[in-house]
Amino acid sequence: MSLGTYASAKAIGGGVFGPESIGWHSLFWAEGSEMAAEGYSDTDDVGTWPNEGGDNNATQATAGRLPTFTTLGINGHPSVTFNGARQNIRVASFASAPTYPITIVSVFRAGSDSGNTFLFDGVTGSTRNANFKNGAAFTIFAGSSRSSPGVLTNGSDYIGLASFDGGGGGDTLTLNGTELSSSDAGSSQLTGLSIGIDNSSANGAAWDSHIALIGIYEGDFTADPEFSDFETWVTDHYGISIA
């Protein structure tokens, strides 16, 4: 599965742009080259979501908690689907934990308004960098306080940027290109990652809808020379309108 099959934006210096051209610490992309090599078909259980960034993969071995692969997820492109019933997939520990500050980038579809549904978080309550939906509110948390929430519409598609400095300073939450908040979200740092968190990890349910991409970027992703290409690609590829 080549990037050219799915991407139309042009990379810096020419050629076809795709997320794998960016220097991520970790990248979980439902269309990545290593994900394609897993050979998942529509509705298959996803026991391994390969890390296209080269660090440890996300895995799940427990029956009944496996997310599924969806070939026509967001805007007709593949995604991994979580049904809100404690489904998740996890990097138990990174081979090398990310250096802060970090930006966690997600492309997803909003699901249920029932309680807290977690898009991603750390693997324990003491290593938190969470992005979650509290009812209709979109929220970040890193151990001590939440940002001011933004509102998600069920069934709509989004790109979220959750920026954490790891030191209790200015942490920002951006949704579809609009900064919703900038506040102290706490100082906890990731040692691993849960995508679609479950109740054994924190007080919240698993995500309830599609996730197409989760990327951990070391630094301010908006300052990367390829950020504008990435935004163009998200608009073209996933049909998400970015302010």
Nearest Cα neighbor of 119 from 138, 100, 102, 103 is 138
Q: Domain residues for 59?
A: 19-238
Q: Is residue 60 part of a domain?
A: yes
4 inside domain:
no
Residue 74 lies in a domain: yes
3 domain residue, yes or no: no
Q: Residue 7 falls within a domain, yes or no?
A: no
CATH of the domain at 230: 2.60.120.200
Q: How many domains are there within the chain?
A: 1
Q: Helices then strands (H, E): number in the chain?
A: 2, 17
For tokens 């099959």, the residue is 5
Q: What is the pLDDT along the chain (243 residues), one digit of tens a residue?
A: 223 333 334 444 445 789 999 999 999 999 999 999 999 999 999 999 999 999 999 999 999 899 999 999 999 999 999 988 789 999 999 999 999 999 999 999 998 776 788 999 998 777 889 998 888 889 999 987 787 778 899 999 999 999 999 886 779 999 999 999 888 888 988 999 999 987 555 556 889 999 999 999 999 999 999 999 999 999 999 999 999
pLDDT value at position 203? Answer: 56
